[in-house]
Amino acid sequence: MSESLIGYRELAGQLGYSRGALRTMKLRGKLPPPDAPGPRWRPSTLFGPPARTGPVPAVLGPAPATTEASGPRVVVTITVEVRADGR
């Protein structure tokens, strides 16, 4: 099964950057080399291999104990909205 290639338009939609910003990132070496002219990339080139599907493998043995210092991770997402009037 072959992966479909994505260009600036699709990548901009997925990452939330403008196409111009992505072109600048490519010129500055912040994007990997394209997989095809256009430029176009395979999703796995940009985002890594697709997630594995199927049953989750069984964990052998008990889960490691957590302590206060190594407790569960907390992920915080911050969204910043900049309005046209600068507020």
Q: pTM of the full predicted structure?
A: 0.54
Q: What is the pLDDT of residue 35?
A: 93
Terminus-to-terminus CA distance in the chain, angstroms?
A: 48
Q: What is the pLDDT of residue 44?
A: 87
Q: pLDDT at residue 85 above 80?
A: no
pLDDT tens-digit readout, 21-67: 999 999 999 999 999 999 999 988 888 876 666 665 555 555 556 55
Q: What is the pLDDT of residue 47?
A: 84
C-alpha separations of 37 from 8, 27, 34, 45, 57 in Å: 12, 15, 7, 14, 39
